[in-house]
Homo-oligomer: A and B are copies of this chain.
Amino acid sequence: MTENNQGWVRTISLPEPALQNNTADADRLVSALKSQFNVPHVEVDLFLLRQLPELIRKWEYRVCCTVFRDHQKWVLAGVTDPQDTVPVMGLAVDLGTSRVVIRLLDLLSGRILGEASFDNPQISIGPDILTRIHYAEQAQGLPELNRLIINGINTHLIALCKAANTEPENIQLIAAAGNTAMTHLFLGLTPYWLIREPYIPVINSPGLVEAEKLGIKANPLARVLVFPNVGSYFGGDLIAGILYSGLHKKEDTALLVDVGTNAEVVLGNKNWIMGCAGAAGPALEGGVTRMGMMAGPGVIDKIRIDPETGRLETHTINEKPPVGICGSGLIDLAAQLFVSGMIDIRGKLNVAEAGSHLKEKDGLTVFVVVPAEASATGDDLFISQADLDSLVRSKAAMYTILETITGTVGVSLRDLSSFYVAGTFGSFIDPESAIAIGMMPDLPRDRYIPLGNSSLEGATMALTTSRCVHEIFEIRDQITYLELNVNQEFMNRFSAARFFPHTDPTLFPSVKVCRTI
């Protein structure tokens, strides 16, 4: 069951029927596909069968075939005229909880024909996945959530096709990666049991589904590959990340982390892969402080504090007037506060150093990041001690998870050859800042590799390189899932990590505080 490293679309030349070779049309085609793709069988749908005899004769026994596979079967997803200039297309989908990104591809050349990014329409039900899971319990809740995501994808894929001057009908393959809950909502499967002990998904490897059955407005026979998940808290987005990073093919052990409310960590190499997931809390995504928000125009994503003057320099997305701060900005802020001595190693505001930035709000001392007169909101943008405490807990949880998973297999964090940071959010994090606050290990900076939208890239790979789909299921089956036991050892590590950068400064030799307190 091998396949080479090519695409899913190939032009097949069939032997013409003869008395000496009077096998059936479909059997002749399947036999040619089997040898072209080097696979044991290729399924042909009844509706394709009905058209096949006329088409293969009209095309003079040359057929452009789009094949696709999942973990156990290969199917013929479509046939086209090899003389045709209309592109055979694929759609890569990143099923993000907050943002959904779709990418239209020419399957033959691999060229990107267009891309659209939009808020997950399910946000109208609830911004976080938990609210949606609860909503799905109501009558018609699940179909509504399913319809929202499918309609959202349809609206944007139709627009993408229009912009690319082509028809949705020409989309023959779709690959979608998302976390387990989003995958369930996308497929219309109940997420009810995902969040209830013992946390059971409906299915881990849904395999190929016809676009028509999902209501996706592509070619009705287009096949949708949904990235498999490992469990309720380890989804297809992670598998896509591993695929894109290449961690599963490396000689040296590498680590991949998806930073978020739930921190997912993968450790491994070409011989083994271990995965775990744990709650880090919403602070790392900027989800705690009143000024926290998702990345968008005017959101502060970078902060520097001048070590001499103590002045804050903020950068906003699109350089618009500041409206709030996103996760990477918050991590920057904490790091800068720490190295400038404005907070101490416990993350507590140091009035002596930070004095000019502090202000009284509702009886609490807060640190003003942007004063009202400079903000787009007309109000101060600030952070409270409680926000900082929350960030400390989150970064400590993150680091403890990293220590736990590496400790389990006896690998030192320092020995990691690569440290992949998955996800769009993760790619905004400045490793320098993440290291300064002790959220990520003090590795040479070039070992930090932001992956960007690794779900989208992984889905793209599945569509353009046939070998990759095999790898997806290999990766899934290879992962050993580590249940994080919050035991005494975990708590000890967590307590030690609740300092900037850590109680053991030898773990972070490169982190230097400018002003000692």
Contact A198:B22 (CB < 8 A) given known A190-B54, A203-B44: yes
> Cβ of A49 < 8 Å from any Cβ of B?
yes
Bound: A474/B399 CA distance, A: 59
Bound: A204/B24 CA distance, A: 6
The smallest beta-carbon distance between A107 and chain B, in angstroms, is 24
Contact B198 A49 (CB under 8 A): no
Contact A53 B22 (CB under 8 A): no
Contact B46 A193 (CB under 8 A): no
Contact B41 A204 (CB under 8 A): no
Contact A198 B18 (CB under 8 A): yes
The smallest beta-carbon distance between A3 and chain B, in angstroms, is 17
Bound: A200/B23 CA distance, A: 6
Query: Across the interface, which residues of B come within 8 angstroms of A297, CB to CB?
Result: none
Contact B24 A200 (CB under 8 A): yes
Contact A49 B206 (CB under 8 A): yes
> Cβ of A43 < 8 Å from any Cβ of B?
yes
Contact B198 A24 (CB under 8 A): no
Contact B203 A26 (CB under 8 A): yes
Contact A50:B204 (CB < 8 A) given known A19-B197, A25-B193: no
Bound: A41/B70 CA distance, A: 13
Bound: A17/B52 CA distance, A: 46
Contact B46 A213 (CB under 8 A): yes
Contact A22 B199 (CB under 8 A): yes
Contact B43 A200 (CB under 8 A): no
Query: Across the interface, which residues of B come within 8 angstroms of A206, CB to CB?
Result: 46, 49
Among B22, B202, B214, B232, contact of A49 (Cβ-Cβ < 8 Å):
B202
Contact A24:B73 (CB < 8 A) given known A53-B190, A187-B46, A190-B53: no
The smallest beta-carbon distance between A139 and chain B, in angstroms, is 13
Query: Across the interface, which residues of B come within 8 angstroms of A213, CB to CB?
Result: 46-47
Query: Across the interface, which residues of B come within 8 angstroms of A19, CB to CB?
Result: 197-199, 483
Query: Who on chain B is nearest to A188 by CB?
Result: B50
Contact A17 B50 (CB under 8 A): no
Bound: A49/B189 CA distance, A: 7
> Cβ of A298 < 8 Å from any Cβ of B?
no
Contact A72:B18 (CB < 8 A) given known A27-B203, A203-B49: no
Among B43, B53, B188, B205, contact of A192 (Cβ-Cβ < 8 Å):
B53
Bound: A187/B46 CA distance, A: 8
List residues of A whose CB falls within 8 A of some B CB: 17-19, 21-27, 40-41, 43-44, 46-47, 49-50, 52-54, 72-73, 187-190, 192-193, 197-207, 209, 213-214, 231-232, 483
Q: Can you list 28 contacts pairing A with B, beta carbon distance less than 8 Å?
A: A17-B200, A18-B198, A19-B197, A19-B483, A21-B198, A22-B198, A23-B200, A24-B202, A24-B203, A25-B193, A25-B200, A25-B203, A27-B203, A27-B205, A41-B72, A44-B203, A46-B187, A46-B188, A46-B206, A46-B213, A46-B214, A49-B187, A49-B189, A50-B187, A53-B189, A53-B190, A53-B200, A53-B202
